Structure 1
Amino acid sequence: MKVPDLVAAARAGDRRATARLISMLENGTAEAPEVARLVKGGDATIVGVTGSPGVGKSTLVSALIGAWREAGLRVGVLAVDPSSPFTGGAILGDRVRMADHALDPGVYIRSVATRGHLGGLAATTGAAVRLLEGLGFDVVIVETVGVGQAEVEIAALADTTLLLLAPGMGDGIQAVKAGVVEIADVYVVNKADRPGAEGTVRDLRALMSLVRREPGEWRQPICSTVASEAKGIDDLVAAIGKHRDWLAGGDHLAVKRRRRAAAEIRARVDAELRRRYAVPEALAEQVANGETDVASAVGRVLGDTA
């Protein structure tokens, strides 16, 4: 099937066509530029979901899908999984927790392998988001790899970034450390039925009190949820909607979109550099055997020396 036919089928809800189009972008096939030209526009709400492993990101995403589908919205999900060190593929673990929506024609869920890219996303995530938006999805959710304090790429990609925390995942000091906590637009204390949830909320409020804001600046709300029981999801959806309205009220959304485009360009450049300057096994062996040093090997990879 030719690319225009695949695009038409994908817009009509054909999941297989959508999957093939994303694969073309991910693999950088000869058809990828045509896909990018044909699928443009859209005005989806891009929601990033990030947080440490075990806080319930996939379960929360499943609950959000349910809420938005009840509202009649088409939802696309890109669940970024760590790559296998052996096959390079994704483990697909996130999709297991979203199985309730597997047969819903208004939902498209795809696991995306990081393929060695750092920052919680894959190098082609931005292109996949742009594709789903252009295919007419109303909401695109990007669930990151379980991230640490410095992996903040999702903030440049998403319109609204949710940071999930859970009781028992660390002491109160974690709430005031720099890094991933600072990029959130909405804080979500998930598993709020567990002991210590009120303390986590209290730590976040203490963090908020330390941040000075000018009049009109966005003040991050703190939502408590029990995603496994869909508790607190309506309040969270409302908070996301309020942030979207705030973005649209000024030039904030336009700024976000420019930053997203810049981040996508940087990610693709990084991926191309990784491909272009791959390290030969023979050179790695020479360094391991002490026949040459790392600095000299870097120069040879970059073409600075013979």
Structure 2
Amino acid sequence: MQDVPGLVAQAREGRPRAVARLISLVEGASPQLREVMAALAPLAGGAYVIGLTGSPGVGKSTSTSALVSAYRRAGKRVAVLAVDPSSPFSGGALLGDRVRMSEHASDPGVYIRSMATRGHLGGLAWSAPQAIRVLDAAGCDVILVETVGVGQSEVEIASQADTCVVLLAPGMGDGIQAAKAGILEIGDVYVVNKADRDGADATARELNHMLGLGEARGAGDWRPPIVKTVAARGQGMDEVVEALEKHRAWMEEHDVLTTRRAARAAREVETIAVTALRERIADLHGDRRLETLAGRVVAGELDPYTAADELIAGLTEPEAG
């Protein structure tokens, strides 16, 4: 058993080993997870969570590393949560701690963690919300969440971040994919990376045109900016940070940030509740209550919906009592 209060205190002091242990408790769905979350609840809420998404090959890891450098120059403590595809053998993250971010490994003001999706669709690990809370409570000013490069299913990042950055690159058909993938709905800031390549201006124009065809915006509504970068050389990253800070200021001014975070918390609570119910239902296989209800359905005494209602009532009544 881990000393949770001790780990939390050490994490607040910026000790990476304590942060790592807390996130490991999250990923392993430890019996101490409730204690961990209860201890972290009053400490979280100060970090700015930025999600980075985009198709494979657009330079997400390179852009994330360049953003870390930009925020470190501004004196911010930065955490990176890099969500990778799962190994089919170990279930762990395939890319480890990201070779491209190795330049930040010795910086005490940067914490980098890879998490495996473990088969979870949507580009994020199921435990990402709790891991974000750990990093938030540990005193990080900015948390960068880089998602799996899985294309159209990455829209989930929009529900976990305060600001969502969508990366595109010229010559990859991203302009056509933009309309299909739903990214015009989730992007708060758009970045055309590898802007030194032919077609970068055309990609930016096409994206700007598509955004113009979107829903009508009022005078005070946020208009997602399009920033061109060459992340491998750090070009344009200060402009990305400026766009992010403008979006944050706009959200605070219009009370959007609080609304987004409340919606995020609601989804997290719902996921935990549904998971708990699913576990109880899984324990019912071979249970007499389920067999009895199934028999009544076969006999025509009950329809399956009424039987399901009775089953759910039986699962929830002990908790209510």
The normalised TM-score by structure 1 is 0.87
1:161 aligns to 2:148 (yes or no): no
Give 2:69's aligned residue. 66
1:249 aligns to 2:250 (yes or no): no
The answer to whether the 8 Å contact 1:123/1:271 transfers is: no
Q: Which runs of 5+ in 2 are unaligned?
A: 283-303, 312-321
Give distance in 1, aligned partners of 2:37 and 2:188.
29
Cα deviation for residue 130 of structure 1 reads: 1.2
- 1:109-128 matches, within 5 Å, as 109-128=112-131
1:195 aligns to 2:198 (yes or no): yes
Give distance in 2, aligned partners of 1:150 and 1:81.
14
Give 1:35's aligned residue. 36
Cα deviation for residue 162 of structure 1 reads: 0.2
Higher mean Cα deviation, 162-171 or 230-239?
162-171
The verdict on how the C-alpha distance between 1:270 and 1:25 changes in structure 2, with shifts beyond 3 A counting, is same
- Say which SS state the counterpart of residue 167 (structure 2) adopts: strand
The answer to whether the 8 Å contact 2:169/2:194 transfers is: yes
The answer to whether the 8 Å contact 1:157/1:259 transfers is: no
Give 1:296's aligned residue. none
The answer to whether the 8 Å contact 2:79/2:110 transfers is: yes
Give distance in 1, aligned partners of 2:85 and 2:174.
26
Cα deviation for residue 12 of structure 1 reads: 1.1
Give distance in 2, aligned partners of 1:264 and 1:52.
26
Cα deviation for residue 265 of structure 1 reads: 3.0
The runs of at least 4 aligned residues of structure 1 exceeding 4 Å deviation read 269-278
Give 2:222's aligned residue. 218
1:141 aligns to 2:144 (yes or no): yes
The answer to whether the 8 Å contact 2:148/2:154 transfers is: no
Give 1:24's aligned residue. 25
1:180 aligns to 2:183 (yes or no): yes
Give 2:293's aligned residue. none
Give distance in 1, aligned partners of 2:208 and 2:266.
32
Give distance in 2, aligned partners of 1:8 and 1:122.
26
Counterpart residue type for residue 46 of structure 1: V
The verdict on how the C-alpha distance between 1:49 and 1:79 changes in structure 2, with shifts beyond 3 A counting, is same
1:87 aligns to 2:90 (yes or no): yes
Q: Deviations over 1:14-69 (max 9, x none)?
A: 11110000111121112111111111223111000000111000100000001111
- Say which SS state the counterpart of residue 81 (structure 2) adopts: strand
Counterpart residue type for residue 187 of structure 1: Y
- Structure with the higher fraction of residues in helix conformation: 2
Q: How many equivalent residue pairs?
A: 283
Give 1:76's aligned residue. 79
Give distance in 2, aligned partners of 1:59 and 1:268.
33
Counterpart residue type for residue 70 of structure 2: A
Cα deviation for residue 149 of structure 1 reads: 2.1
1:46 aligns to 2:88 (yes or no): no
Higher mean Cα deviation, 139-148 or 169-178?
169-178
Higher mean Cα deviation, 149-158 or 159-168?
149-158
Give 2:238's aligned residue. 234
Give 1:9's aligned residue. 10
- 1:99-114 matches, within 5 Å, as 99-114=102-117
Cα deviation for residue 83 of structure 1 reads: 0.6
Give distance in 1, aligned partners of 2:181 and 2:55.
15
Q: Deviations over 1:240-294 (max 9, x none)?
A: 000000000022011100121123234445655776677xxxxxxxxxxxxxxxx
The verdict on how the C-alpha distance between 1:123 and 1:274 changes in structure 2, with shifts beyond 3 A counting, is farther
The verdict on how the C-alpha distance between 1:272 and 1:57 changes in structure 2, with shifts beyond 3 A counting, is farther
- Say which SS state the counterpart of residue 117 (structure 1) adopts: coil
Cα deviation for residue 177 of structure 1 reads: 2.9
- Say which SS state the counterpart of residue 47 (structure 1) adopts: strand
The answer to whether the 8 Å contact 2:50/2:142 transfers is: yes
Give distance in 2, aligned partners of 1:4 and 1:174.
47
Counterpart residue type for residue 81 of structure 1: D
* Aligned-residue identity in percent: 58
Larger Rg: 2
The verdict on how the C-alpha distance between 1:148 and 1:276 changes in structure 2, with shifts beyond 3 A counting, is farther
The verdict on how the C-alpha distance between 1:183 and 1:118 changes in structure 2, with shifts beyond 3 A counting, is same
Alpha-carbon RMSD:
2.2
Counterpart residue type for residue 18 of structure 2: A
The verdict on how the C-alpha distance between 1:249 and 1:91 changes in structure 2, with shifts beyond 3 A counting, is same
Cα deviation for residue 85 of structure 1 reads: 1.3
The normalised TM-score by structure 2 is 0.83
